[in-house]
Structure 1
Amino acid sequence: MSEQAWPAGFRINPRANGASPAWVERFQGIPSSWISDSMGRSIGTMGLAAYHNRIDLIVAAPAVTVRVRPGDNLMLHKAMEIANPGDFIVVDGGGDLSQALIGGNMQTTAIRKGLAGFVIDGAIRDLVDWANGKMPIWARGFTHRGPSKEGPGEINVPVAVGGMVVNPGDLVVADCDGVLAVSPSDFEALWPHIEKQKEKEAKLRQANASETPDPERFNSILRAKGCPV
């Protein structure tokens, strides 16, 4: 359809070619906290929780974004249809908890398609199904009340989830601590900071385990604030 042909509130854009497979692979296993520290500790979602019962799981995958009318999942169904295996579907549901946007039947479809997971700024249902750990999902909350399927909605447009902007093709990294989105344009500049954070974490853990931490790490801060130590 042409730009003029879309009815008001409806839009389906092509899948964005964002995060490359090589970068997706590089970010696998990197905790969200390391990325957060490397990005100034001010980036990422707030108020979303994991519902897949896998505290050990870290997911890094390119985003297919969806904006829906609160309580309506028509465009979420369409996004699942056009997404590629390994895609992370990120849904801006306005934080609404009155109706669930996704449930166990849709989980079955997602598993068959090999999707990486879901981030839902809205409600889900069928928690027992999600707790099987077969399909990662982060959401604002849950309810037994099901969705409408009327629209409107948009696919592959900039969205906001949990206070974080996600663009189509961004790399989404999610674990039990939270969800972050990284623009592919930032990969090269960000990666050295993540490597330094990895080294810092290893040194801190070794020092804490051996009972030889550096007292100046905090004493210098206290002295700078005028506190005698």
Structure 2
Amino acid sequence: MKYATTDLCDTFENEVHVLDPIFQSYGGHARFHGQIVTLKLFEDNSLVRQTLGENGQGKVLVVDGGGSRRCALLGDQLGELAVKNGWAGLVIDGCVRDSAALGQLPLGVKALATHPRKSVKLGSGQKDLPVRIAGCDIAPGQWLYADEDGVIVAERERA
């Protein structure tokens, strides 16, 4: 990728929003970007699985998991599903598991922490609605850029 979040912030200072620096990188790609698809859920990754099973070409999945640190919303199997369907990456306001395996996948993954416990599977959650995570309002269709220096959101494609 030819962009850097620092350069995008410098060039488009009034047009990008910076997420609070609360995320760790767990995927094999530290840099990723794409058009945003949003999910809002709590300790149930059923909708994560369903969404990652769809075509994700050029997209980033942003998961408002309510900041829960009591279970993981993504593991290696869902990571492999994301790669298979072309997703550029995920930003999860929650935890992941199987971090060593996720680190080997050609996928960007930002999350709060790791947790060995899997989530429940109740089929709850909502898709494609505005969410607020890490101090930033995020809407479906916006663009997310992530690298070693941070995560930013823009109204339109900037790279």
Question: Shared fold (TM-score greater than 0.5)?
Answer: yes
**Cα contact 1:49–1:178 (8 A) shared by 2:** no
**3-state SS of the aligned residue for 2:6?**
helix
Following the alignment from structure 1 to structure 2, what is the Cα–Cα distance between the partners of residues 118 and 140? 12
- Aligned with 1:86 (options 47, 58, 72): 58
Counterpart check, 1:76 vs 2:51: no
How far off is 1:152 after superposition? 2.3
* AA partner of residue 132 (structure 2): A
Partner of 2:76: 104
1:51 corresponds to which of 26, 46, 61: 26
Match of 1:64 among 24, 37, 47: 37
Q: Which amino acid aligns with 1:49?
A: Q
- Give the distance between the partners of 1:183 and 1:41, measured in 2 at CA: 7
| 1:137 maps to 2:112 | no
Is the contact made by 1:64 and 1:83 (CA closer than 8 Å) also made in structure 2? Answer: no
* 1:113 partner letter: N
Alignment deviations for residues 109-155 of structure 1 (CA, whole Å, 9 cap, x no partner): 11111111111010000011111142110001110011011142111
Provide the secondary structure at the position in 2 that maps to 1:43.
Answer: strand
Compute the displacement of 1:43 (Å): 2.7
Answering whether residue 139 of structure 2 is matched by residue 167 of structure 1, we say yes
The two structures have a TM-score, normalised by structure 2, of: 0.88
Instruction: Specify which structure has the higher proportion of strand.
Output: 2
TM score, norm. by length of structure 1: 0.63
User: What is the aligned residue count?
Assistant: 157
Q: Secondary structure at the match of 1:111?
A: helix
Unaligned runs of 5+ in 2: none
RMSD of equivalent CA atoms: 2.1
Tell me if 1:182 matches 2:154. yes
State the identity as a percent: 26
Residue 113 of structure 1 corresponds to 85
Contact 1:116 1:135 in 2 (8 A): yes
SS where residue 82 of structure 1 aligns? coil
Instruction: Name stretches of at least 5 consecutive residues in structure 1 with no aligned partner.
Output: 1-27, 195-229
